[in-house]
Structure 1
């Protein structure tokens, strides 16, 4: 389980992008709050950040011609097998794509993600600017 660095979303191969959607769905659903070393940082924030990150994934999917279920754009939606968020004051957020939703998505995490992809045989040619993500 992993959330890829936000800046990698437009460059991820099909399988990793669709896998990212599944991860976001799982985290928003019954996986919310379940410990896992690579995504524990997500639970330190309000769920709105996860919803905003998931929206970036959904927009990238649509840009590539996929048709994700539009229900996932609703901040309260958690999937078919669990009810909406209860007792949370969720608002519709659209964090600009230039903003980094999670502070953990820094340069070191970017390198960690790129190395993880290399280990899977995926070498991304990503045109990054030096100041594209926080140190």
Structure 2
């Protein structure tokens, strides 16, 4: 399971680095839909994170059941909790990366709208001066 988490984290980093290495789109070609961000399907990523979190919770509950069958219950429970916290932290980091990317994209769109508005106002003022 540890290898799966490590490989999934590496895969996410690889996708993010590839997306960041792509050239910026032209000003007029920014998508209005936030569900696709730099080639990533945000809803699919969020569903994947949710399903991994559900799987981690199920695994934690199953591990707790096994812990109560052992002699050293507290040690086993603590190890299971440590592993669950590690997985939850990793998934939370992935969520934060996605949320920051969406937030940045929305901010960029707002700046573009403001720049367009200002340029239109400037054009109107220039026309009035003529």
Q: TM-score surpassing 0.5? A: no
Larger radius of gyration: 2
User: Which of the two has greater helix per residue?
Assistant: 2
